[in-house]
Amino acid sequence: MSLPQHDNLSVQVAKWIADEIIHTQFAPGSRIREENIAEKLNISRGPVREALLILQRQRLITILPRRGAIVKKIDASEIEDLYNVIGALYTLLGQQIASNWKNDELAPFKALINSMKKHAEKNDYQHYFEETINFVRLGYPIAQNDLLRELIEDLIPSVYRAQYQSIQERKKNLNEHWQNYAQILQAVEERNTTKLVEIITMHNNQEQEHAKIFIQ
């Protein structure tokens, strides 16, 4: 197997390993060996070593002395910490977008909401989830907060991992789920930060409860 030779190969390797962890190809508590990854991807061990540092920052693995990289286990406490932090970050992002947006900057959000609705109706969770992440990322240029962007991006893989475990149950609620995003966008458009905080908090609590129920 080989990866596309992008400018930053270590980032590509990190994304590949993260995807394997999210889809449970690397089980919680299992060891990730640099040499095995390098051989599988037909690359040197240097980018793999750098990739593992990225994954440790993203809280997908732990690097232990003499044991190497171990896939982190997920428990209820980890889920609660994750969603408390990401919820606060999403709230701050939403508030900054509501404060900063101008002209037609919200138009891409409206188009994305329509696309999310179509994927929800088809029960296409994979593409639907990708668009929920794109919904967040559309806000970065408007918020103009690089630190906030970096913090959210570091936690997105862990959020995806937590959500993937409850994918079958989540599929049942997609038609209700996308409406939360529509309400968030409406609050942003109205610059109603009180309403915005309430909706994000409610949505984040729902996500947390789903993840807690289905953790292994």
Give the predicted TM-score (pTM) of the model. 0.87
Over the stretch 185-205, which tens digit does the pLDDT of each residue have? 999 999 999 999 999 999 999
Position 171 scores a pLDDT of 72
Partners of residue 69 on adjacent β-strands: 32, 63
Tell me: pLDDT of 168 over 70: no
Average pLDDT of the segment spanning 103-113: 97
CA atoms within a 13 Å half-sphere pointing along the CA-CB vector of 103: 2
**What tokens appear for 120 in the block?**
């929800």
Contacts with 215 (C-beta within 8 Å, 6 or more apart), sequence order: 74, 75, 76, 79, 162, 165
The residues with which 216 forms a beta bridge, in sequence order, are none
pLDDT band at 216 (very low <50, low <70, confident <90, very high): low
Taking alpha carbons only, the member of 1, 43, 45, 44 closest to residue 20 is: 1
Q: Which has more pLDDT, 125 or 62?
A: 62
Query: Per-residue pLDDT averaged across 51-78, rounded?
Result: 91
